[in-house]
Amino acid sequence: MNGWLRLFDPARIASLRRRLVWQFLVLSAALVLGLFLTVGWVADRASRASQDAVLGAAVTAITEGIRSVDDGLELDLPYATFSMLGAMGDERIFYALAVADRVVTGYDDLPAPPEPALDMVPIFWTADYRGARLRLSAVARPMLIDNRLRPVTVTLGQTRLGQAAIARDTARSAAWAALVFLVVALPVALLAAQAVLSPIRSLAEVMGRRGPRDLRPVRHPTPRELAPLLRALNGLIARLRGALDLAETFIFEAAHRIRTPLSLVRTEAELALSETTDEATRIRLRRMVRAIGESSRSANQILDHAMVMYRSDQFAAAPLDLAALTRAVVRAVAPLADMRDIALSQAGLDSPCPIEGDERMLEIALRNILDNAVKYAAPEGRIAVSLRREGPMAVLRVQNDGRGLSDDPAQLMARFRRGGNVGDIGGSGLGLTIVTEVAAAHRGRFRLEPGEREGTCALLHLPLA
Amino acid sequence: MRLAALAAGLIALVLASPARAFEIEQERRFGPADGTPIQVLSTTDTAAFAPVLEDFVARHPGRSIRYVQAASTEIFAAIHDQDARFDLVISSAMDLQMKLANDGFAAEVEMEAPGLPGWARWRQQLWGMALEPVVTLASRQALRDLPLPRTRRDLIALLRENPDRFRGRIAAYDPQVSGVGYFLIAQDDQVSDGFWRLAEVMGRLNARLFCCSGQMIEELRSGRVSIAYNVVASYAARFRPDDPDLVQLGFEDYIFAIVRSAFVPVNAPDPEGARLLLSYLLSDPAQRLIAASAGVALVPGTGPAPSPQLRPIRLDAGLLVYDDRLRRAGLLAEWRAALVQPQAGP
Ligand SMILES: Nc1ncnc2c1ncn2[C@@H]1O[C@H](COP(=O)(O)OP(=O)(O)O)[C@@H](O)[C@H]1O
Ligand SMILES: [Mg+2]
């Protein structure tokens, strides 16, 4: 019983669509039942009324056929009236003609009227007689019999099987019509439910298509009923973005505030180094300068990372030439490579390579890739930078010789993760994280793989404009 | 169309019947002598109905029928007042059958009878099973040179013009004894204005009254009467082919056709057997046999189609009016007044 009820509880049906269809079905079934009962009732009333009219007319006609004659009453019981009364559904007919309370002809034991019949106005009632339910009508009329005025009452009763059957048939037809209508309406209801729910689906699709860091407010057109949901969603997004902004600004600020005093300390340490001659102090000071350099590079990386995060939130792409940008970055790292006697070769950087992107972000990414190449290349080694097009993508390839990879490249992309091959080479472990994020913001991808013969190869794919 | 005038006291006599056993005319058994038979109470002449019943027992081995023939008023009284127990009641007195059904003595029988016309059935209770034209028979020998009357008007003229030849030689139903006789007079009264003139003429010629068609035909064949008015044709059919003297007068104004009907009483001891017999009676083979003896088919296609002047009487609630005490008493009074005339003693 309980489980049965629970099946009908709309709140328990997980699908909105199914819930709508269920409710439609339940309502429609109630409608069909209601129609059946109402039409049955109305048809019964209407046919009963019209049959009462016929019965009343018949009993009146019989009464009018009574004549008073010398030796009693004369009655012309009309054949046609009886034939007509019985016509609908072969009804049984009973009658009685009574003078005062004595039945003169007809059925002696026919139920008497519940109230005295009035002069020529038929009264109607229902009674059981000889195993059947009868509708009866009676008319009374005073007549002169043996010089005395005496009341003559005619009672006429008929079964109403035909009328009941007609009312039942009518109700059944109405119910069938409603049922057919329901069957026809069901697919329509399914479609309607689908249509009603389509804005929800399209909103979900729009949300699903968004990039992982896309925190712009949702501007999708929705029906009025969904506006509160959309407002709540946008409110949530705004709060989230506010929190992120705050965190990034804070990191930005913090890195900045560390960097400035660090460079001051470094200048001071270098000055002290040039002024002192005590070898032990010099060694100490040199270590200090180095550590400070590391720290400020780390701070720079953190700053860059914060910058990349920030800019990919507010991503604003503009047309730019990847070849020119790469040339510029290569030029910037060239002195570092020179210091380690590394040969830098370039290919494919002469012809322009137009892409849509954020120049600042891309520059940071390229510098990190090239920094790594210089850092991990063998002394007096080689770095080959090449740019080419592969289908809809521009592919930048930076190949360096040297120690090669010792870890799973995918894991090296994580924040602050450094490889086991680093040795005494300084670094923060943020470089590849930055590159990956820049690639993702541009709908491109970044990969690190072992070089063809030796060393490492970094591959950056970016969609062409 | 004039109707009866009557004091209430007079009416009481007519239908008041003291509790007594009803009168049986004939009783016969069809089929094997052992086992419980299907009990049939019927007005139909046993000899006329025998071929149909024999066909039934031939088709249903193990079944037998006890066929009791009685007058229609006896049958009515037996069922209505004496609680007689039969499985199937067959009668040509349509008004009495209708009253029995209306008063709740007939059981509902679920049965298909697709060929049966709607007017020959009342609910699932009263089933028409034969159409019986009501004709007037004449003896060719008695008429001799006289032209055959073609309408009732012709008949009246014929009787009036030859009173001596027809005095005491006209046969008619006695409506006070015969249910069918009364019913036919009521029909004549309703349909034709000239009927009472005919009745008067017959009364003046000292017409003889009989209880049943069979007796009238016997009198006619033995030469004791010349004309028999209102004879059920199925009786006549039994003799006509081998009796060239019998002429059937098919009046052109109208010929009634009574629907002989059957019902299963609510207290039938063997309703299953009754249903079996009834559905056989309504089946094509039985209808063919019945139509052959009646000369006309009730179920279309089982025999000769009805002629245009044939007026089948419908089985419907209108028949109830004929049984009305006032109406009946009035009609019989009028009949007596017309027929039993003081100057024409027996
Ligand atoms: N060109 C390369 N050759 C060899 N190993 C590399 C190269 N680029 C990156 N790696 C490895 O990936 C790790 C992560 O790189 P990155 O995020 O730039 O941090 P780091 O500050 O250590 O350079 C490095 O620690 C190193 O082990
Ligand atoms: Mg690095």
Q: Which ligand is nearest to the CA of A427?
A: 1
d(CA A235, CA A243): 12
CB A381 within 8 A of CB A401: yes
Q: How many domains does chain A have?
A: 2
How many domains are there within chain B?
2
Pair (A402, A429) in one structural domain: yes
pLDDT above 50 for B4: no
Query: Rounded distance, CA B236 to CA B217, Å?
Result: 7
Nearest CA among B102, B5, B13 for reference residue A76:
B5
The pLDDT assigned to B344 comes to 41
Q: B80 in helix, strand or coil?
A: helix
Q: What is the pLDDT of residue B6?
A: 39
In ligand 1, the atom with minimum distance to the C-alpha of A400 is 1
Alpha carbon distance A70, A145 (integer Å): 8
Same domain, A256 and A365: no
Q: What is the mean pLDDT of residues B61-83?
A: 93
pLDDT on residue B42: 95
pLDDT at residue B346, rounded to an integer: 39
One domain for residues B19 and B127: yes
Ligand 1 contacts (CB < 6 A) are A 372-373, 376, 400, 403-405, 412, 418-419, 421-422, 427-432, 456
A155/chain B closest Cα distance in angstroms: 14
Q: Is residue B137 part of a domain?
A: yes
Averaged pLDDT, B53-79? 93
The alpha carbon torsion through A350, A352, A353, A355 (nearest 10 deg) reads 150
DSSP A229-294: HHHHHHHHHHHHHHHHHHHHHHHHHHHHHHHHHHHHHHHHHHHHHHH---HHHHHHHHHHHHHHHH
Residues B220 and B171 placed together within one structural domain of the fold: yes
| Distance between CA atoms of residues B221 and B240, nearest Å | 10
At B239, is the pLDDT very low, low, confident or very high (cuts 50, 70, 90)? low
Task: Flag whether A305 is in a domain.
Answer: yes
Q: Which of A292, A314, A336 is the last residue of a domain?
A: A314
Distance of CA B50 to the CA centre of its chain: 17
Phi-psi region at A402: left, alpha or beta (left = phi > 0; alpha = psi -120 to 50): left
Q: From A314, A347, A375, give the residue that closes a domain.
A: A314
DSSP-assigned letter for residue A94:
E
Token pair recorded at residue B240: 């006509």
Q: End-to-end CA distance of chain B, in Å?
A: 29
Let me know whether A273 and A345 are in one domain: no
- Please name every residue paired with B231 in a beta bridge, in sequence order, or none if there are none: B135
pLDDT of residue B14 exceeding 70, the answer is no
B115 and B216 housed in the same domain: no
Cα–Cα distance for residue pair B81/B97, rounded to 1 Å:
14
Point out which residues pair with A357 in neighbouring strands.
A318
Pair A283, A367 in one domain: no
| Amino acid present at B284 | D
B19 and B82 within one domain: yes
Who among B3, B102, B314 is closest to A93 (CB)? B102
Report residue B1's pLDDT band, with 50, 70 and 90 as the boundaries.
very low
- Is residue A4 situated within a structural domain? no
Shared-domain flag, residues A258 and A345: no
Q: Give the pLDDT band (50/70/90) at residue B241.
A: low
Statement to judge: residues B123 and B165 lie in one domain: no
Question: What's at A112, amino acid-wise?
Answer: A
On whether both A308 and A367 belong to a single domain, the answer is no
Are B139 and B223 contained in the same domain? yes
Chain A residue whose CA is closest to B191: A79
Confidence of residue B81 (pLDDT cuts 50, 70, 90): very high
Q: What is the CA radius of gyration of chain B?
A: 20
Question: Are residue B39 and residue B101 in the same domain, yes or no?
Answer: yes
DSSP annotation of B106: B
- Which of A286, A314, A342 is the last residue before a domain boundary? A314
Residues pairing with A155 in the sheet:
A96, A138
Q: Say if the Cβ atoms of A131 and B104 lie within 8 Å.
A: yes
Is residue A330 in some structural domain?
yes
Q: Say yes or no: A261 and A341 in one domain.
A: no
Q: Taking an 8 Å Cβ-Cβ cutoff, which residues of chain B contact chain A?
A: 3-8, 11, 102-104, 122-123, 190, 314, 316-321, 324-327, 330
Range of the domain at A285: 210-314
- Do the Cβ atoms of B6 and A97 come within 8 Å? no
CA distance B151 to B251: 5
String of DSSP letters for A277-340: --HHHHHHHHHHHHHHHHHHHHHHHHHHHHHHHHHHHT---EEEEHHHHHHHHHHHHHHHHHHT
The answer to whether position B70 is within a domain reads: yes
pLDDT in tens, chain A (465 residues): 454 545 555 555 578 888 888 888 888 888 888 888 998 899 889 888 988 999 999 999 999 888 888 777 888 788 888 988 888 778 899 999 999 889 999 999 999 889 888 778 899 999 999 989 999 999 998 888 888 888 899 999 999 888 888 888 888 898 898 889 888 888 888 888 888 888 888 888 988 888 766 788 888 888 888 889 899 999 999 998 888 888 878 877 887 888 888 889 989 999 999 999 999 999 999 999 888 888 888 888 888 898 888 888 778 889 999 999 999 999 999 999 999 999 999 999 999 999 999 999 999 999 999 999 999 999 899 999 999 999 999 999 999 999 889 999 999 999 999 999 998 888 889 999 999 999 999 999 999 999 888 899 999 999 998
Whether residue B317 and residue A90 make contact (CB cut-off 8 A), yes or no, is yes
End-to-end CA distance of chain A: 66
The confidence band for B164, taking pLDDT boundaries of 50, 70 and 90, is very high
Query: Does B320 map to a domain?
Result: no
Radius of gyration of chain A from its Cα atoms, rounded to whole angstroms: 51
Report residue A142 as tokens: 């005073």
Joined tokens for residue A451: 């070089």
Answer whether residue B321 is part of any domain: no
- Write out the two tokens for B121: 């059935």
pLDDT of residue B196: 93
C-alpha to C-alpha distance for A292 and A297, rounded to whole angstroms = 8
CA atoms of A64 and A7, how far apart (whole Å): 66
Q: Say whether A417 sits in a helix, a strand or coil.
A: coil
Residue A212 has a pLDDT of 67
Look at residue A332 in the predicted model and tell me its pLDDT.
Answer: 93
C-alpha span between B32 and B29 (Å, rounded): 8
Classify residue A39: in a domain, yes or no. Answer: no
B269 domain-assigned? yes
Tokens of B339: 């027929």
Q: Chain B residue closest to A85 (CA)?
A: B317
| Residue A447 within a domain | yes
B202 and B273 co-located in one domain? no
CA distance A368 to A300: 11
Neighbouring C-beta atoms of residue B20, cutoff 10 Å: 9
Domain encompassing residue B45? 2-131+259-305
CB B101 within 8 A of CB B263: yes
Residues B252 and B154 in one domain: yes
**Residue A112 distance to chain B (closest CA, Å):** 18
pLDDT number for residue B240 = 63
Query: How do residues A176-222 score in pLDDT, each as one tens digit?
Result: 988 898 888 888 888 888 888 888 888 889 888 887 667 888 888 88
CATH number at residue B195: 3.40.190.10
Query: Does the pLDDT value for residue B12 go beyond 60?
Result: no
B311 assigned to some structural domain: no
Suggest the residue from A73, A77, A109 to mutate for an interface test with chain B (most B CBs closer than 10 A).
A77
Q: What is residue A214's predicted lDDT score, i.e. its pLDDT?
A: 77
Dist. CA A266–CA A273, nearest whole Å: 10
Co-location of A291 and A395 in the same domain? no
Q: A185 and A112 in contact (C-beta within 8 Å)?
A: no
- B93 and B120 assigned to the same domain: yes
* Cβ <8 Å between A74 and B6: yes
Residue B144 in any domain: the answer is: yes
pLDDT of residue A213: 67
Cα A169 versus chain centre, distance? 45
Q: What is the pLDDT of residue A355?
A: 95
pLDDT tens by residue, B247-302: 888 888 899 999 999 999 999 999 999 999 999 999 999 999 999 888 899 999 99
The percent of residues above 90 in pLDDT, for chain B, comes to: 61
Are B168 and B227 in a shared domain? yes
Do β-strands B170-173 and B227-232 pair in parallel, antiparallel, or remain unpaired?
parallel
Say if residue A358 is in the same domain as residue A261: no
- Measured CA to CA in angstroms, residue B325 lies from A85, A104, B37, B305, B332 at distances of 20, 8, 37, 37, 10
Residue B331 token pair: 């009609």
Residue A127 CB neighbour total at 10 angstroms: 15
Q: What is the pLDDT of residue B127?
A: 97
Asked if A83 lies within 8 A of B314 by C-beta distance, the reply is yes
Strands B38-42 and B126-139: unpaired
Q: Is A188 helix (H, G, I), strand (E, B) or coil?
A: helix
Question: Is there a single domain that holds both residue A323 and residue A310?
Answer: no
Residues having C-beta closer than 5 Å to ion ligand 2: A 372, 427, 431
* A335 & A457 share domain: yes
Q: Give kind and range of the element (H or E) at residue A355.
A: strand A354-357
Residues A251 and A289 in one domain: yes
